[in-house]
Structure 1
Amino acid sequence: MNDPAGLAILDSLARVAHERALRAADPLLAACVLQLKTLQQDRFRRAYDDLLANPRYAGAARFFLDELYGPRDFAQRDAQFQRIVRPLVKLFPAEVVDTVRQLSELHALSEQLDTRMARELPTQLTPADYVRAWQTVGEPAAREKQIQLTLRVGRLLDVYTRKPLLRGMLRMMRGPASAAGLADLQGFLECGFDTFRAMHGAEHFLTSIEHREQAWAACLFAGDPEQRFAALWQQSAPA
């Protein structure tokens, strides 16, 4: 394959597969990653409880919670993607392919950081352990990139809401996508489009994520984890 986007997607999926192989060879590591992802999903739910409770933003917040956070296993979806990147690039519009490229890059980066953090965690994870592992792994530039990739995926989905022809194309592609083994990807894109369209503008939602995630990262990198973890986990959404 010579298509740059397709090659980038394959590279990201190979990185994800590598992280899964490491965990498959080490059940203790796999268990720590699962605990880590569960705790991160709980943190997101607490930090964004106002958006989850708001009818305008609830769908998009749940979409982020389910698709970008938490312990859900995407192995089957990723294996499908890896087998059919060539038809993906041919079937879907360039904007959609670019969204998948950004998503796969985010997926790979998140999995790599999760593995590195899990190696620093005890068997029974507490929030204080999480803060300590975050500080041990470090990588502030990678954490900022993780936030920016999340925002890019969200902004691309928001752009789609202003392109009704693209939404129509997605509907028309359900049959071909399913036949090509792309049903999971099709479902992800349609769900993302519909939840973002329901917001009637995603700027407040995405700005809230940017500010809160950057503040969260800065707080985790600073100070003594024993003094910080309780406040970090007990707080509800910022005002």
Structure 2
Amino acid sequence: MSKLAALDHLLQRYKALNYHQDPVLFQRLQDVQHWQKARLKDSHQTLFAKKNNQLMAQYFVNRLYGGPDFDILAQQIERLLKYAHKAEPLIPEHAIKTGTHGIELSILAVELDEQVAQQLIRNYPIDQALTDEMMRQTYIDLQQADARLKQLAMADEFGYYLDQHLRSFIVQTAFKMCKSVAYKHQFQEMYDFMHEGFAALKPLKSAEDFVKTFSQQERQVIEKVHNGHLNPFRFAEQ
């Protein structure tokens, strides 16, 4: 079986998202993602402000949680799958595994945020600016706790993969050698997705430790939301 086969399943999940055919939902999803990015920066400002953590914080917010427009990346994945037999020998297996996991984490974030956007459309005027209270109540209405905890477990795995698979000098050298080929064949977005992960990893002693601290704090947010805390998105020390 192709090492890239898992990407086809992820591509189908992405294509199945409702916002592709619904401009109103698309706009509300963008609102949710904008709020989500700002919220993550606020909730984790102490962790994110540490010098060595800043690149990884940006990677989590912009790539794995907030999610840029995934259309270009999805198109490149689709093209890559057509030439999997040629591409696989050029990409280290561990890099494929880690990259696939990161893409799945990103798609899961969009799936969960799309559910939030749909619930907001049902309960509030489409042009109403999002507030923390609207989001708190929407999370309660959706009962997403289990799904969000799964998301955090996947994030913990990703931190482990970064440390175990991408710190290798051989893997990093092989990845750098792929850049010219990736850009030549217009796979820039896919390459940059992984490159940003490598760059964010470099200043850290342990990506796994960073992610575990992040996910532990996010679990506190989830617990406070579902225990009725009226200000669940900020920590007392901040």
Could you say which TM-score interval applies, normalised by the shorter chain? 0.7 to 0.9
Instruction: Establish whether residue 183 from structure 1 lines up as the match of residue 188 from structure 2.
Output: yes
Q: Name the residue aligned to 1:35.
A: 31
Give the match's secondary structure for 1:120: helix
Instruction: Establish whether residue 120 from structure 1 lines up as the match of residue 119 from structure 2.
Output: yes
Q: Name the residue aligned to 1:232.
A: 232
In structure 2, what is the Cα distance between the partners aligned to 1:203 and 1:167?
A: 18
**CA displacement at 1:237 relative to structure 2:** 7.7
The amino acid that maps onto 2:218 is: E
In structure 2, what is the Cα distance between the partners aligned to 1:163 and 1:75?
A: 31
**CA displacement at 1:147 relative to structure 2:** 0.8
In structure 2, what is the Cα distance between the partners aligned to 1:28 and 1:83?
A: 29
* Residue pair 1:36, 1:114 contacting (<8 A) in 2 also: yes
Instruction: Establish whether residue 195 from structure 1 lines up as the match of residue 197 from structure 2.
Output: no
The amino acid that maps onto 1:222 is: N
Q: Name the residue aligned to 2:150.
A: 145
Q: 1:188 to 1:81 in 2, by over 3 A?
A: same
* Residue pair 2:66, 2:109 contacting (<8 A) in 1 also: no
1:141-195 CA-to-partner distances (Å, cap 9, x unmatched) read: 3211111222222222222453111111111111222233322222222221122
Q: 1:202 to 1:6 in 2, by over 3 A?
A: closer
1:3-40 CA-to-partner distances (Å, cap 9, x unmatched) read: 2x422211112111221xx2243222112111111111
In structure 2, what is the Cα distance between the partners aligned to 1:237 and 1:105?
A: 32
Q: 1:37 to 1:14 in 2, by over 3 A?
A: same
Q: 1:53 to 1:107 in 2, by over 3 A?
A: closer
The amino acid that maps onto 1:232 is: P
* Residue pair 1:38, 1:70 contacting (<8 A) in 2 also: yes
* Residue pair 1:47, 1:238 contacting (<8 A) in 2 also: no
Gaps of 5+ in 1: none
Q: Name the residue aligned to 2:102.
A: 103
Q: Name the residue aligned to 1:164.
A: 169
In structure 1, what is the Cα distance between the partners aligned to 2:111 and 2:217?
A: 22
Q: 1:139 to 1:47 in 2, by over 3 A?
A: closer
Q: Name the residue aligned to 1:44.
A: 40
In structure 2, what is the Cα distance between the partners aligned to 1:237 and 1:83?
A: 48
**CA displacement at 1:45 relative to structure 2:** 0.4
* Residue pair 2:76, 2:190 contacting (<8 A) in 1 also: no
Structure 1 stretch displaced more, 190-199 or 152-161: 152-161
Identity %: 22
Q: Name the residue aligned to 1:55.
A: 51
In structure 2, what is the Cα distance between the partners aligned to 1:196 and 1:238?
A: 27
Q: Name the residue aligned to 2:6.
A: 8
Q: 1:89 to 1:140 in 2, by over 3 A?
A: farther
* Residue pair 1:23, 1:29 contacting (<8 A) in 2 also: yes
Taking only aligned residues, the RMSD between alpha carbons, in angstroms, comes to: 2.1
In structure 2, what is the Cα distance between the partners aligned to 1:168 and 1:44?
A: 33
**CA displacement at 1:196 relative to structure 2:** 1.0
**TM-score computed with the length of structure 1 as normaliser:** 0.86
In structure 1, what is the Cα distance between the partners aligned to 2:195 and 2:105?
A: 19
Q: 1:160 to 1:237 in 2, by over 3 A?
A: farther
Give the match's secondary structure for 1:232: coil
* Residue pair 1:13, 1:108 contacting (<8 A) in 2 also: no
Gaps of 5+ in 2: none
Segments of 4+ moved more than 4 angstroms? 236-239
